[in-house]
Structure 1
Amino acid sequence: MTGGLNTEKTHPLAVSDLFVVIIAGIGLLLSTLDTGIINVALPTLVHVFHSSLTAMSWTITLYTLALTGTIVLFGRLSDRYGHLTVYVLGLILFALSSMLCGIAQSVPEIIAFRVLQGIGAAMLQATSVALITTIIPESRRGPALGTLGILLGLGPVLGPSVGGTILSMVSWRFIFFINLPIVAVALFGCRRLKRIVRDKRQHIHLNVAGNVLLSLFC
């Protein structure tokens, strides 16, 4: 330390760090990519289900409300039961709800399944950053978080183009089915990650009623 300046060298991402960032980044990418895709697909869904734009817009509104309304709760749950554990459960729920959205036969079904998808997205967003801050050493955490931010920004950018490409080539159902192979890759990575790191847990008091009320008013 000279002249009040920080002379600590910046540590580049190690291969193992990059692996953690990619696994954590997939969750953020999925949760934001899906929003961009559904925006483009709204006119198609309105036509397919013989519905109105107002009714079909609930697939976006309730997804967002489910995400923002439960993210705090899942953040607390991950502190207690482990970030990687909640992240894996979030991936499974997101994949299951994506499959259900893809096979939906009515407007109420696809809206309900989108709510489940929003809850799964909340589990992913609540734990993605925590995976990096608890696994990667502080000296290399800056580059890791920066890389994660890039992956987060890719979702809204790629969503419309990916959605438009899918709709022009195959059935609208694949805007949801596309999530399944991505989740499969993330789950495989999480399985490997569990072998080399220990999921940290904190013995904290969980105020379920308070967290539910907070989620409802978010």
Structure 2
Amino acid sequence: MPDTAYSPLSDEELLLRYRSADLLARDELSVRYFRSRRFHLSKAAPSLVGVLDDWTFNEVFFNAYLAAESSFRFGEGRFISFFQVILGHEVAKEADKVIKESSSRQWVYFDKPDPEDGHYYLHDIIPDGSSLNDPKAFSIYAETLLELGKLPKGIKPEAVVVSTMLSDGYSLEEAASFLGLVPSNARMMAYRFRKWAKKVIAEVKSDKAMAKLELALSKI
């Protein structure tokens, strides 16, 4: 985000303005934090850096930020410290869940897609599973579905544009402005897009794991 009249303001000043109904102040603060999300992670949970994939971490970060934004009390320390405490707890909870799910999962079966059912699957467009954690890789899949008119119900074309612009380094405010949306609507579109992406990627990864297991069993 380019420098604005809000850029010199402190986090606390921006939050105070937002609570006085200044939505531009909120955009400045949220973008400021999101662009520094890896820095905040390194401070909040240094031992967990790299445990969560990009999609999961971004969602956890977003939820932690909203919690801090709504519950911070002025006069009780700095907003950044308060936020990092919340982020650390949320990242630790999500990492623990990921580890438990990984260790407890035994046999997960997903039906193989029917190549003649008229649907398009992630591995049809992005065959290299090693790139699935890269948001830009999923953007390619989403853009292809958009061009084919095959986006799932609940995912608007604008959501693909917003998420692609975010993965390309644009701010949420810039993406919203480009599409003529208010930032809150763009934020919700990005959230729903991430939720859809995580579901699709999880199913593909489980499907690939099952294929490897079936191959191993066939050799016994």
On whether the aligned pair clears a TM of 0.5, the verdict is no
Q: Which has the higher contact order (CA 8 A, sep 6+)?
A: 1
With the length of structure 2 as denominator, give the TM-score of the two structures: 0.33
> Which structure dedicates a bigger proportion of its chain to helix?
1
**In terms of Rg, which structure is larger?**
2
